[in-house]
Amino acid sequence: MSTFAAAQLVAAREIRVKLRDKTFLISTAFFLLIAVASTVLPPILEGGPTEVATADRTVAAALRQAGLEVRAVAGDAEAERLVRDGDVEAAVVAGPTVLGLDEAPDEVVEALSTAPPVRLLDPDATDPFVAFVVPFALAFLFFMTSFTFGLQIAMSVTEEKQTRIVEILVASVPVRALLAGKVAAMTLLAFGQIALVAVVAFVGMRIAGVGADVTALVGPTIAWFLVFFLIGFVMLATLWAGVGALAARQEDINGASAPLQLAVMGPFLAVLFLQENAAAMTVLSYIPFSAPIAMPVRLFTGDAAGWEPVLSLIVLAASTLVFLAVGARVYEGSLLRTNGRTSFATAWRSRSTVG
């Protein structure tokens, strides 16, 4: 049997086990819920357009043109009553005077006044809410997914070591097939989960009637994010597998994976706090560990040139190859050392198994 066929068998088992795992199913449902909630809810909560009562036809026409909802009434008295009762937000009575309950209805005032022409020198195309939520969501998704799935890879490797089944496995298939199967299975599941969330979020935005300008911006960002995620996750997954092999028992994983946890959490926090710092974001978008978050964010904010994601992706892919080799070597060197935690150096030196 070829290494590839063996890796497929290993991956199939991992996926079967995972799909029966309640934690996985619940976390997927949870992410989907957040995706739906964060895209569909805000427009709904904002409510419909402001409703204005008026008896004046010309005023009504001007208000409609400004996108407000007009309720035609017989006279000013009725218009005032509607405002007092809270049935409409504002009314326009003779004068014309604008009636509000406790605050000046700016939209109505604006619709009826002649504003001087305005020319913005640095127009901010995106809604500030969207501008905040998209980078945060990307960073959070990558962090959560690579952390939880990564930890599960480590646990699944340690489980095989701790239960000693690993010796039967190693006697049957090449160590690399074991590693490749595990990484492939988890990448597939993590990518599937995140792609599902992305699609749901995107569709949610369309349904919620978010402007075409926003979807046109978010769409490519999500697409780039998925590509970066895929490669970035493979890199981390191999390292998690190596870390899992260093630990002899589940209890050791936390200690063994501390540096890796930092490498996952650091970029998340850095992108979150340095979002406004263009220079820092440029650097972050080329460092392999933070690129999967920082580059899509820069693309979203329009700070990155067209060639930049491609270059960053090449850097990421190259370092993934390097880390694949590192992770695989550590994995091979420590898999059969079942007595206590193996140090990185020992694992690196001892290539005891036969390919």
Partner 1 sequence: MANVLKVEAVNRSFGDRRVLEDVTFSVEAGRMTGFVGANGAGKTTTMRIMLGVLAADAGEVTWQGAPLTRELRHRFGYMPEERGLYPKMTVTDQIVYLARLHGLSVDAARRNTAALLERLGLSDRGGEHVEKLSLGNQQRVQIAAALVHDPEVLVLDEPFSGLDPLAVDVVVGVLRERASAGAPVLFSSHQLDVVERLCDDLVIITAGRIRASGSRAELRAGYAQPRFAIQVDTDAGWLRDEPGVTLVDLDGARAVFDLAPGTDDQAVLRAALARGPVRSFGPVTPSLAEIFREVNQ
Residue 13 beta carbon to partner 1: minimum distance, rounded to whole angstroms: 6
Site for partner 1 in 165-204 (CB under 8 A): 165-174
Residue 250 binds partner 1, judged by CB under 8 A? no
Q: What is the DSSP letter of 126?
A: S
Q: Residue 168's CB: how many other CB atoms inside 10 A?
A: 10
Closest approach of partner 1 to the CB of residue 10, in Å: 8
Query: Which of the stretches 2-10, 38-46, 82-90, 95-103 binds partner 1 when contact is defined by CB under 8 A?
Result: 2-10
Nearer to partner 1, 87 or 167 (CB): 167
Residue in 154, 152, 247, 245 with CA at minimum distance from that of residue 190: 152
Q: What count of other Cβ atoms lies within 10 Å of the Cβ of residue 4?
A: 10
Minimal distance in Å, beta carbon 151 to partner 1? 17
Residue span 6-45 as binding mask against partner 1, x where in contact by CB under 8 A, dash where not: x--xx--x---x----------------------------
Contact between 240 and 187 under an 8 Å Cβ cutoff? The reply is no
- What span, in angstroms and rounded, lies between the C-alpha atoms of 121 and 59? 32
Element (H, E) at 51: strand 51-54
Alpha-carbon distance of 45 to 63, in angstroms, equals 23
* Cβ proximity of 34 and 198 under 8 Å: no
Contact pattern from residue 310 through residue 349 relative to partner 1, giving x for each residue in contact according to CB under 8 A and a dash for the rest: --------------------------x-x-----------
Q: How far is the CB of 327 from partner 1 (least distance, A)?
A: 21
In the region spanning residues 137 to 166, those forming contacts with partner 1, defined by CB under 8 A, are 159-160, 163-166
Closest distance to partner 1 from the beta carbon of 159 (Å): 7
Nearer to partner 1 by C-beta: 223 or 336? 336
In sequence order, what are the residues at sequence separation of 6 or more whose Cβ sits closer than 8 angstroms to the Cβ of residue 143? 264, 265, 267, 268, 293
Q: What count of other Cβ atoms lies within 10 Å of the Cβ of residue 129?
A: 11
The DSSP line for 119-160 is --SS---S-HHHHHHHHHHHHHHHHHHHHHHHHHHHHHHHHH
Report the nearest approach of partner 1 to the CB of residue 2 (Å): 10
Residues that bind partner 1 (CB under 8 A): 1, 6, 9-10, 13, 17, 159-160, 163-174, 336, 338, 352-354
